[in-house]
Amino acid sequence: MSKVGFIGLGIMGAPMAGHLRAGGHELCIYDVKPAPKSLTDQGAVVCGSAKEVAEKSDIIISMVPDTPHVAAVLFGENGVASGLSQGKIVIDMSSISPIETKRFAQKINVLGCQYLDAPVSGGEVGAKAASLTIMVGGPEDAFKRVKPLFELMGKNVTLVGGNGDGQTCKVANQIIVALNIEAVGEALLFASRMGADPARVRAALMGGFAASRILEVHGERMVKRTFDPGFRIELHQKDLNLALQSAKALGLSLPNTATAQELFNACVAHGGKAWDHSALVRALELLANHEIGQKTPAMLD
């Protein structure tokens, strides 16, 4: 049994922390909002600051929205760094900048502690089902020590490389997801505008080489018009910003990633920052003046 601290108890963090407590580990928690009753009912100890979490825990996990939030959690007033002692492990499971992650790791290492970046994929559904994919960067000995904790939260746990490599892997994941959403959206929009039933087209494609998790889950969302998150567009925008900023620093062109980001920007301009990211298709529909499933005049032979 480990003494685990968990900071950031949102739609992802709360169920992830719950799995750790259900696995028999002591759990100290902190969030700027009141702690979820589901965790306190399980016996989680509520702390008054990130510093207190670090003082009471051997392994400290953060799960917050963006790079500045991680910086504040770790190094802000009453942050994790001020409560650390030799030999502890700090794990950030947020999705943030790979470049800043390397800097954070160096600062934690100076304090005699180890650092792992371990962003996740799978969304709220994966967090609740403990089926997340976890992409880890950091020292192998620290990874081996905490892998049983990761396995309580996810099914596919991989040590990708050193610090920053986990975050790099997550950015790559978000590029693939965004471009797949865009491809599925274009395909179903094309089918619908041609007069075919998009639901039947999707079902047919699921049996062929075009089959994918995006076509299965988000294709259904597009057909059924169910765009409640899920994973919010504003969060996917944040991840693509990380990709484009890093690519600029490398002198690397990511043209289709940039296009996907512009489509997300169009959705936000129409009030959609909190839509599920599958709603990227709405930007395509605006360009086409056609909504998937909308009746169209018969095409001429």
Q: How far is the C-alpha of 269 from the C-alpha of 168, rounded, in Å?
A: 28
- Catalytic residue, candidates 170, 224, 248, 295: 170
Return the DSSP state at 90.
Answer: E
CA–CA separation, 135 and 230 (whole Å): 20
Instruction: Give the phi and the psi of residue 273 in degrees, each rounded to 5.
Output: -65, -25
Structure tokens at 267: 């959705």
- Give 298: exposed, middle or buried? Use CB within 10 Å, 0-12, 13-18, 19+: exposed
DSSP secondary structure code for residue 163 in this structure:
T
Alpha carbon distances (Å) from 58 to 3, 162, 236, 258: 5, 21, 32, 41
170 as an active site residue: the answer is yes
Cβ–Cβ < 8 Å for 262, 179: no
Positive or negative, the Cα torsion across 207, 208, 212, 214? Answer: negative
DSSP states of 10-67? STTHHHHHHHHHHTT-EEEEE-SSPPPHHHHTTTPEE-SSHHHHHHH-SEEEE--SSH
> Could you list the active site residues?
170
